[in-house]
Amino acid sequence: MKLTSGRALLVTVSGLAVAGAALFWSAIRGPVEEAGPHAGPPPVQAPDTGFRTVEGTTRSLADYRERVVILNIWGTWCPPCIREIPHLVEVQRVIEPRGGTVIGLAVDSGSSQEVLSFWADRLELDPAYPLWLGTNRQARSLFEAFGLPNTLIIDGDGMIRERFLGLVTRETLLERVEPYLE
């Protein structure tokens, strides 16, 4: 049977949809694999846009100048993000005394209370580092974060030095942030 151009297009689109669904399923159910650094353009200045915190104040990366920041862009609905949080809690414990901090930017994850409840109920943890609220749109436009989790290492001058797409372990983050700490 010969396919018409309309049927050929339908078959192609259907095949791509099935392949995409399989990739998505393997991403959320597959083994935990660590992300690698994202090769990208030279370091750029991190934006100073203000974000609402879970405490109800507004903070920006400019408030953290002269400190090394690991900005983790995550969502309560993102399975790899959830698996990554215990690693970030450990990283915060190690880098805070050395002039660094982790900041969690929760995107499209609800209200402050919903994010705090997520930490208490799902993670059974108290937040160990600052939590900010934002949107996927902000993450994409401000930080070029096209996928979650997305983690940036920002030096004390506010320059984005490294980017990671996907889950990053404690060991890798500590190794990669070391050169920027005091």
- In a domain, residue 37? The reply is no
pLDDT at 23: 40
Query: Measuring CA to CA, how many Å separate 125 from each of 12, 76, 77, 92?
Result: 46, 14, 17, 14
Say yes or no: 82 and 164 in one domain. Answer: yes
pLDDT of amino acid 11: 46
Task: From first to last of the 182 residues of the chain, give the pLDDT tens digit.
Answer: 555 665 555 545 444 444 443 344 334 333 344 555 555 568 999 999 999 999 999 999 999 999 999 999 999 999 999 999 999 999 999 999 999 999 999 999 999 999 999 999 999 988 999 999 999 999 999 999 999 999 999 999 999 999 999 999 999 999 999 999 97
With respect to residue 39, please indicate whether it lies within any of the assigned structural domains. no
pTM for this prediction: 0.79
Q: What pLDDT shows up at residue 5?
A: 62
Does one domain contain both 22 and 92? no
Task: Provide the CATH number for the domain around residue 60.
Answer: 3.40.30.10
Strands across the sheet containing 150-154: 44-45, 159-165, 150-154, 68-74, 100-107, 131-134, 51-53, 58-59
- Contact, 128 vs 92, CB < 8 A? yes
Instruction: Dihedral sign for Cα 121, 163, 52, 127, please.
Output: positive
- The answer to whether residue 152 is domain-embedded is yes
Q: Does residue 55 lie in a domain region?
A: yes
Q: Are residues 60 and 143 in the same domain?
A: yes
**Domain for residue 35, yes or no?**
no
Amino acid, res. 4 = T
Q: Does one domain contain both 24 and 49?
A: no
Domain extent, residue 25, equals 1-30
Clarify whether residues 65 and 10 are in a common domain: no
Contact 161, 154 (CB under 8 A): yes
Cα 24–Cα 169–Cα 161 angle in degrees, nearest 5? 95
Task: Give the model's pLDDT for residue 30.
Answer: 38
Please tell me the predicted confidence (pLDDT) of residue 42.
Answer: 84
Q: Look at residue 18 in the predicted model and tell me its pLDDT.
A: 41
Residue 146 falls inside a structural domain: yes
Q: For strands 68-74 and 100-107, give the pairing.
A: parallel
H-helix segments, the chain: 5-29, 79-95, 112-117, 136-143, 170-177
Do 50 and 26 have their domain in common? no
Let me know whether 168 and 114 are in one domain.
Answer: yes
- Residue 38 covered by a domain: no
Number of folded domains that form the chain: 2
